[in-house]
Homo-oligomer: A and B are copies of this chain.
């Protein structure tokens, strides 16, 4: 089963501390309980501007991203937990 996010939304898999250690990335202590890093699994078709134009998404599938704390909605599909968030809640891409 596939999750296709709408508009400017993306679906991510939140990356746990173990994976962070592997990639050498650690989030500050105060954010330990609520990780801010994820891997993009699916992206929407983009935001629709007031002139009807679609804005292409900046993030793409496979990107490692930092996202704003408290952003997004957790969902569980086929026993797996994902998070749906808006691209505007993505702070940066890690390259």
In the complex, chain B residues whose CB is within 8 Å of the CB of A69 = 73
In the complex, chain B residues whose CB is within 8 Å of the CB of A50 = 49-51
Near B by CB (< 8 A), chain A positions 42-92 give 42, 45, 48-53, 55, 58-59, 66, 68-69, 73-79, 81, 84, 87-88, 90-92
Task: Please classify how large the interface on chain A is, using the bins under 10, 10 to 19, 20 to 34, 35 or more.
Answer: 35 or more
In the complex, chain B residues whose CB is within 8 Å of the CB of A59 = 6
In the complex, chain B residues whose CB is within 8 Å of the CB of A45 = 58
Q: Contact string, A27-51, partner B, CB cutoff 8 A, digits 1/0?
A: 1100000001000001001001111
* Among all A-B residue pairs, the 4 with the closest Cβ atoms: A2-B95, A52-B53, A84-B91, A5-B92
